[in-house]
Structure 1
Amino acid sequence: MTYDQTLEYLFTRLPMYQRVGKAAFKKDLTNTLKLLENLKNPHKKFKSVHVAGTNGKGTSAHGIAAIMQTAGYKTGLYTSPHLKNFTERIRINGKEVSPEFVIEFVKKVIPVIEEINPSFFEITVAMAFEYFATQKVDIAIIETGLGGRLDSTNVITPEVCLITNIGYDHMDMLGDTLEKIAAEKAGIIKKHVPVVIGETLPETAPVFEQIAENNEAVLIKAGISNWKPKVLVPAYLLKNMGGIESVIHELIRQGWDITEKHISDGVEKINELTGLKGRLQVLGESPLQIADVSHNVDGLKSLFDQINQLKKGQLHLIFGSVKEKALKPIFDLFPKETKLYWTQSSVPRALSVEELAIQGVMHGMEGECYQNVNEAIDAAKEKARPEDLILITGSTFVVAEVDEL
């Protein structure tokens, strides 16, 4: 198979949550363990850090990876979903996995794919672990998918775990209370493995404490970071720096050779070191154009708070969503006097622009409709003044389809 044929096989043969939603979510580790056993258990051949949470887990994973790279360690990084290219999910020192490895890996596991019918996510996790093992990384930073307890990544025994925060997202799969969601995320806590909690709430603190106690795991509550960035960075990177630093300090305690300079230098260069995209990413100037993958209430609140601090002119908001999202709490966050451009992505989960516009009207919001994000961007550029701000957000999949990303 060619690389394109290999990806076509993966995308069409395997259920992929990002495309079809809940039907692809498998709350069971059986398939992952079978895949890894078939590969001679690569997940047991490298050291790791495991990162879960509702918001900030991707940013935190990239931040930890950037610091470890800066400290001179050969660092694997597994994140999801990808924005432009499948290979973004699996990196070593910022370099994406090669198409050749993807082809050879899929060829090797086709018999077991046909036998057990794994999900897309289960296959990509196994692929990442095989790649990190064969490339002999010093450490790999592994981001969970949706949950924690039954997430496909939850077969590793890391040096330290990080749970960034808990918020209301994916409630149809993880539970309808903060306590239930926290219990799922806290499922990554392992026997005698330290766990950093980036943010605790009255509802979630007892859950973390009990599960850590049950596992005889040291629980570390992240403090507030004193890091002062020299460049514009997403507010949620600043918010997650306490957790990132606590993870690094635990690794230092364990004997890893990392300095405070490695921490500051690594995070300052997070984009170029790890290829982080879609987080307060500047696409153009005059008017300023920013793309951000925030898509739930907590993430969007943080984003709009930061946008307001920029003190630009008119906000031109290009917004799309997925079908299962509760939109009223999100609409309530939109800054007043915002010019709205409704759009949609091309994935099956996308909420149609027509339905989005109807929901907008129901909440007193009028916007123009565009069938894809690039048409919306062109329209916003025509109408915006140099001092205005164009913001593209609401869905990872909308941002992924921006041509200039």
Structure 2
Amino acid sequence: MDRILASVGAPHRSVPALHVGGSNGKGSVARIWASVMKAAGFRVGLYTSPHLVSFRERILIDGRPLPDPLLEELAAELRSAVIRFQPSYFEACTALAFLAFARGEVDVAVIEVGLGGRLDATNVVSPVLTAITNISLEHRDWLGDTVEEIAREKAGILKAGVPAYTTARDPGALRVLTEESAALGAPLTRVRVPTGGWDRNGLHLKLTTRRWGTLSLRAPLFGDHQLENVALAVQSLESLPPRLLPSARAVREGVEAVRIPGRLQLVDAPPRRWLFDVAHNADGMISLARALPVLTDRSPVVAVVGILADKDWEAMLGELSGAVDLILLTVPPGVPVERRWDPDEAVARLPELDLLVIDDLAGALQRASELTRGGGTVLVTGSAYTVGSALRIRDLVPPEALPPSDEFE
């Protein structure tokens, strides 16, 4: 990464960065950060992954995608370096994002880790703030077989002297983060569970802060896990350098304005309700299952689930099954062959669960719609591939996936 970026003027060194990693919730924290900083009047670059519908979603400036011609121009600028150094797809995307933010003259860049942390392509930044969300067993082939091993990989984004915050709860993960932060001289703050709640109108919470006193915050987000994500995002922003510190008003407005497609995204389409969530591991399914009783007030709840083969789909389906009436297993389109799961194997290995296979996603959505024609909820989950494809089929494409309607400034 360093050689590629050096070939185009080291754009990652020109912009102060906020860097967030973790197992679940890092994309939400990134979007909350970006929304608050934008409300504070800063020009904000946001780099997240994966996308739901379009590559455009990955690289945003002030919440808007770059025009396609500009993306092509920046890609052309990187072409010789890509040919020479042969980076991975994600490394090339990351380099493109850093170049876009430098050329776009952003004031601050919000960067979400792709995978792990220590060896992640984004870990070339020298951040002014770091956050690590919860840590759970995931990507074991890459990160390790224990929570402690995974935590050590994620702690790789910590930097000497740079404030770090976490909502990790697992004792082993916390021990590792504490050890690594102490060894580096990175001041680590553990963010506690905030006081608040949520319903179908969104969440509300009170945070006691050093900079802004007690803040009463509201956000159009759902779930106990999002309460923690908001608390992590807001309390970590207290440690920004004075030149970047948002006001209390910007914090309130930014939190209230945040939108996170595909994360407990609720769409009323009478007689049924649609719910889209990219839960892609067991912990994500636990959070989703806990939220369903509040978001689904009528039966049946029919889940359309497409999971990737390298995920612990047995644990995921086990966590979800008790919260829904029927699970339709499907294969999301666009998944690389090596990551394509076999729903029939899931049925064979989990005979105790109420599972039905409809390989075609459009067909599964249609069947779920028919089963809820008298009311109820259709839940779409299991992976970003599944949710993104379903949003496209349902004509619910996120605005940031569409080409900007006017000239980019």
Please show how residues 267-286 of structure 1 align to structure 2 within 5 Å.
267-271=255-259, 276-285=260-269, 286=271
Deviations along 1:80-108, one digit per CA (max 9) or x if unpaired, are 01111111100011011221122112222
Deviations along 1:335-383, one digit per CA (max 9) or x if unpaired, are 4362121111121257657x21331232123433223322211111112
- Report what 1:383 is aligned to: 371
Return 129-138 or 325-334, whichever deviates more.
325-334
Please show how residues 201-280 of structure 1 align to structure 2 within 5 Å.
201-226=170-195, 228-229=203-204, 233-235=221-223, 236-251=225-240, 254-271=242-259, 276-280=260-264
Deviations along 1:47-91, one digit per CA (max 9) or x if unpaired, are 110000000000110011111111111111000011111111000
d(CA) in 2 for partners of 1:277, 1:349: 26
Aligned with residue 162 of structure 1, among 128, 131, 137:
131
User: What runs of 5+ residues in structure 2 fail to find an aligned partner?
Assistant: 197-202, 205-217, 397-409
Instruction: Give the letter for the 1:360 counterpart.
Output: V
TM-score with structure 1 length normalisation? 0.86
d(CA) in 1 for partners of 2:23, 2:380: 21
Aligned with residue 59 of structure 2, among 87, 90, 94:
90
Does residue 188 of structure 1 match 2:157? yes
Aligned with residue 171 of structure 1, among 140, 146, 149:
140
Return 167-176 or 377-386, whichever deviates more.
377-386
d(CA) in 2 for partners of 1:349, 1:234: 33
- Distance verdict in 2 for CA 1:247–1:125, change over 3 Å: same
Instruction: Give the letter for the 1:221 counterpart.
Output: R
Please show how residues 276-315 of structure 1 align to structure 2 within 5 Å.
276-285=260-269, 286-310=271-295, 311-315=297-301
Contact 2:332 2:361 in 1 (8 A): yes
Aligned with residue 327 of structure 1, among 303, 306, 313:
313
Instruction: Give the letter for the 1:295 counterpart.
Output: H
Q: Count residues in correspondence.
A: 368
Contact 2:237 2:245 in 1 (8 A): no
d(CA) in 2 for partners of 1:76, 1:124: 14
- Report what 1:25 is aligned to: none
Aligned with residue 117 of structure 1, among 86, 100, 123:
86
Q: Secondary structure at the match of 2:319?
A: coil
- Report what 2:199 is aligned to: none
d(CA) in 1 for partners of 2:273, 2:108: 38
1:213 CA displacement: 1.3
Deviations along 1:300-336, one digit per CA (max 9) or x if unpaired, are 1101110122333111010011111222211221243
Instruction: Give the letter for the 2:370 counterpart.
Output: E
- Distance verdict in 2 for CA 1:294–1:48, change over 3 Å: same
Return 303-312 or 293-302, whichever deviates more.
303-312
Q: Secondary structure at the match of 1:153?
A: helix
d(CA) in 2 for partners of 1:186, 1:62: 21
- Report what 1:22 is aligned to: none
- Report what 2:41 is aligned to: 72
Aligned with residue 401 of structure 1, among 377, 381, 389:
389
User: What runs of 5+ residues in structure 1 fail to find an aligned partner?
Assistant: 1-31
Contact 1:323 1:349 in 2 (8 A): no
Percentage of pairs with the same residue:
31
d(CA) in 1 for partners of 2:339, 2:176: 34
Q: Secondary structure at the match of 1:76?
A: strand
Deviations along 1:148-198, one digit per CA (max 9) or x if unpaired, are 001000011111100011001101100000111000000001111111112
Contact 2:280 2:382 in 1 (8 A): yes
Q: Secondary structure at the match of 2:111?
A: strand
Aligned with residue 23 of structure 2, among 38, 54, 59:
54
d(CA) in 2 for partners of 1:309, 1:149: 38
Instruction: Give the letter for the 1:142 counterpart.
Output: I
Q: Secondary structure at the match of 1:169?
A: coil
More strand by share: 2
d(CA) in 1 for partners of 2:277, 2:338: 17
d(CA) in 1 for partners of 2:176, 2:155: 8
Instruction: Give the letter for the 2:239 counterpart.
Output: E
1:282 CA displacement: 2.4
Aligned with residue 113 of structure 2, among 141, 144, 165:
144
Contact 2:220 2:258 in 1 (8 A): no
TM-score with structure 2 length normalisation? 0.86
